[in-house]
């Protein structure tokens, strides 16, 4: 599918104010979690668990949801499972009362691999689930071994064959103590979703600590779940017989915020970000400060000023939260491409996340990327060129580079960018960028 393209005239300072949208990586698991509302689990002894629907209790109102293709894909999955969904601006209302689907279609799984987070929610609601193995993606194979191993520890029977996962909930252990070999965000979310409803205590050690995990926990707790330890490496989930829907507001998108900080930095501009949560962004903010930007967080705002030339930074290492987030790595690579000095980036999370490098080189960047390490020798000028987005954040990095380049850049495959940014051209044009979609 030939998606639209972005035409960017570089060299304009970014100056003004942008309100950041709700987080993509939080709204996806929260939408999956709405499935858990409105069913009552009763333990009927050896007959296993009976699940009875409790009608009205299945309605959730989710505020601050961004208009992203990934969010729309998640809503299509919910509809395919029998949920009723309505959207009013950034508020999405989900009624899961009549949802009894247990299959996520192949098409929907391939459209968005993070649909795997529906597995725990569907199992929690109806006790069985069939979905195709999520494909790898541009970032690498994206295995789900930790998800499956943990669900098996929770009594789920999983057979894999011909690319299909066939899962059936069994009798849950009264208590499970699961240690993840790495703090996987998705695996932590799937375990939280599956163990929220039902009986039994689940402990997750080496759990992911990302703010999106705490946001999912916040939603589930408001629905009646018993969860503690969110934001730390040890999560404890005490299963409850039933969750009711609730009204909840999604946390701000820290990666979108960092992207716009990158745009201000590379154009030597000034930007006020509102509707953000600085507490989620210390590792990002410190890298921009190290580059020589003035970064002033306060309340739900961050003010960034880049009046001085951007200087190279010491090594940037991507790490699980609270370390520097891998999703911001391509953005920072773009900004450092036009800086004074040489910087090193070490990508520790994904195998193949330097997809922006070859495209940035077409714009005159001097980047050597090999394995997990990229060496960026800052250049004085980047030049507009026709470039291609290969994945969501690499695409966003090209937009940032194009804003700081001389001349015109045409970015194709913009559908990747639309997965994680609500009309990026509107946001950036509102603060001085000359950027339009064709």
**Quick count: other Cβ atoms within 10 Å of Cβ 415?**
15
Tokens describing residue 161 = 């064959």
Q: Is 250 in the site for ligand EPZ (CB under 6 A)?
A: no
CB 40 to ligand EPZ: min, Å: 29
Residues 295-324 that bind ligand EPZ (CB under 6 A): none
Stretch near ligand EPZ under the rule CB under 6 A, chosen from 48-56, 86-94, 185-193, 238-246: 185-193
Catalytic residue, chosen from 37, 95, 129, 137, is 137
HSE (CB half, 13 Å, CA atoms) of 421? 26
CB 184 to ligand EPZ: min, Å: 3
Under 8 Å between Cβ of 196 and 216: no
Stretch near ligand EPZ under the rule CB under 6 A, chosen from 2-10, 137-145, 289-297, 301-309: 137-145
Q: Is 30 in the site for ligand EPZ (CB under 6 A)?
A: no
Stretch near ligand EPZ under the rule CB under 6 A, chosen from 4-12, 142-150, 246-254, 407-415: 142-150
Contact pick of 187, 192, 243, 251 for ligand EPZ (by CB under 6 A): 187
Query: Nearest 5°: phi and psi at 370?
Result: -145, 120
Tell me the pairing of strands 386-388 and 408-412.
parallel
CB 20 to ligand EPZ: min, Å: 14
Residues 47-66 that bind ligand EPZ (CB under 6 A): none
Contact pick of 20, 185, 257, 265 for ligand EPZ (by CB under 6 A): 185
Stretch near ligand EPZ under the rule CB under 6 A, chosen from 23-31, 98-106, 217-225, 329-337: 23-31
Q: Is 420 in the site for ligand EPZ (CB under 6 A)?
A: yes
Q: Is 120 in the site for ligand EPZ (CB under 6 A)?
A: no
Q: Which residue has the tokens 């599956």?
A: 194
Q: Is 28 in the site for ligand EPZ (CB under 6 A)?
A: yes
Tell me the pairing of strands 226-228 and 201-205.
unpaired
- Identify which of residues 133 and 248 has a Cβ nearer to ligand EPZ in the complex: 133
Contact pick of 33, 68, 126, 146 for ligand EPZ (by CB under 6 A): 146
CA distance 122 to 128: 7
Q: Is 184 in the site for ligand EPZ (CB under 6 A)?
A: yes
- Identify which of residues 206 and 343 has a Cβ nearer to ligand EPZ in the complex: 206
Residue by residue, DSSP assigns 271-336 as EEEES--GGG-HHHHHHHHHTT-EEEEETTEEEEE--SPPBP-S-EEB-STTSB-GGGHHHHHHHH
Which residue in 385, 269, 290 sits closest to 341, CA to CA?
290
Mapping DSSP onto H, E and C, the string for 150-168 reads: HHHHCCEEEEEECCEEEEE
CA distance 413 to 392: 10
Task: Judge whether 137 counts as a catalytic residue.
Answer: yes
Using CB under 6 A, count the residues that bind ligand EPZ: 23
- Identify which of residues 146 and 399 has a Cβ nearer to ligand EPZ in the complex: 146
Q: Which residue has the tokens 């799937």?
A: 190
CB 276 to ligand EPZ: min, Å: 16
CA distance 132 to 142: 14
DSSP structure class, residue 97: T
Contact pick of 64, 69, 114, 409 for ligand EPZ (by CB under 6 A): 114
- Identify which of residues 101 and 320 has a Cβ nearer to ligand EPZ in the complex: 320
Stretch near ligand EPZ under the rule CB under 6 A, chosen from 120-128, 180-188, 231-239, 422-430: 180-188
Q: Is 349 in the site for ligand EPZ (CB under 6 A)?
A: yes
Contact pick of 115, 326, 337, 412 for ligand EPZ (by CB under 6 A): 326
To the nearest 10°, report the CA torsion of 134, 149, 254, 8. Answer: -20
Q: Which residue is nearest to ligand EPZ (CB)?
A: 186
CA distances from 240 to 41, 158, 221, 228 (A): 8, 24, 11, 14
CA distance 128 to 103: 9
Query: Nearest 5°: phi and psi at 37?
Result: -90, 140
Q: Is 398 in the site for ligand EPZ (CB under 6 A)?
A: no
DSSP structure class, residue 57: G
With H, G, I as helix, E, B as strand and everything else as coil, classify residue 429.
Answer: helix
- Identify which of residues 39 and 369 has a Cβ nearer to ligand EPZ in the complex: 369
Q: Is 417 in the site for ligand EPZ (CB under 6 A)?
A: no
**Residues whose CB falls within 8 Å of the CB of residue 70, separated by 6 or more in sequence, listed in order:** 24, 28, 112, 114, 419, 420
To the nearest 10°, report the CA torsion of 209, 213, 218, 222. Answer: -130
Q: Is 182 in the site for ligand EPZ (CB under 6 A)?
A: yes
Q: Is 25 in the site for ligand EPZ (CB under 6 A)?
A: yes
Q: Would you name the residues annotated as active-site residues?
A: 137
Residues near ligand EPZ (CB under 6 A): 24-25, 28, 114, 142-147, 182, 184-187, 208, 326-327, 349-350, 392-393, 420
């Amino acid at each position: 599918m030939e998606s639209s393209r972005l035409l960017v005239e570089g060299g304009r300072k970014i100056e003004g104010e942008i309100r950041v949208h709700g987080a993509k990586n939080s709204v996806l698991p929260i939408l999956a979690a709405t499935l858990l509302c409105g069913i009552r689990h009763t333990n009927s002894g050896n007959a296993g668990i009976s699940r009875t629907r409790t009608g009205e209790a299945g309605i959730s109102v989710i505020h601050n949801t961004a208009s992203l293709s990934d969010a729309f894909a998640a809503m299509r999955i919910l509809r395919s499972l029998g949920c009723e969904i309505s959207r009013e601006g950034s508020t999405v209302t989900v009624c899961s009362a009549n949802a009894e689907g247990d299959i996520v279609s192949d098409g929907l799984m391939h459209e968005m691999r993070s649909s795997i987070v529906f597995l725990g929610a569907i199992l929690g609601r109806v006790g069985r689930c069939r979905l195709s193995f999520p494909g790898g993606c541009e970032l690498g194979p994206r295995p789900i071994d930790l998800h499956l191993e943990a669900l098996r520890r929770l009594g789920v029977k999983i057979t894999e064959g011909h690319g299909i996962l066939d899962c059936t909930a069994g009798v849950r252990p009264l208590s499970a103590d699961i240690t993840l070999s790495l703090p996987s965000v998705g695996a932590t979310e799937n375990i939280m979703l599956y163990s929220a409803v039902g009986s039994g205590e689940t402990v997750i050690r080496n759990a992911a600590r990302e703010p999106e995990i705490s946001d999912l926990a916040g939603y589930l707790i408001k629905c009646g779940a018993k969860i503690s330890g969110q934001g730390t490496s040890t999560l404890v989930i005490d299963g409850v017989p039933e969750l009711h829907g609730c009204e909840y507001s999604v946390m701000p998108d820290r990666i979108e915020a960092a992207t716009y900080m990158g745009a201000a930095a590379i154009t030597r501009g000034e930007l006020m970000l509102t509707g953000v949560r600085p507490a989620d962004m210390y590792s990002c903010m410190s890298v921009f400060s190290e580059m020589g930007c003035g970064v002033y967080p306060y309340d739900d705002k961050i003010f960034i000023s880049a009046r001085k030339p951007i200087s190279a930074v010491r090594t940037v290492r991507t790490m699980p939260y609270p370390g520097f987030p891998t999703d911001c790595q391509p953005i920072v690579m773009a900004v450092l491409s036009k800086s004074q000095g040489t910087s090193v980036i070490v990508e520790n999370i994904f195998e193949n996340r330097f997809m922006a490098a070859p495209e940035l080189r077409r714009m005159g960047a001097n980047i050597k990327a090999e394995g997990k390490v990229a060496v960026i020798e800052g250049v004085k000028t980047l030049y507009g060129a026709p470039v291609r987005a290969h994945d969501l954040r690499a695409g966003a990095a090209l937009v940032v580079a194009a804003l700081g380049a001389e001349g015109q850049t045409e970015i194709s495959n913009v559908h990747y960018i639309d997965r994680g940014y609500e009309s990026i051209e509107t946001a950036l044009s509102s603060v001085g960028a000359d950027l339009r979609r064709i």
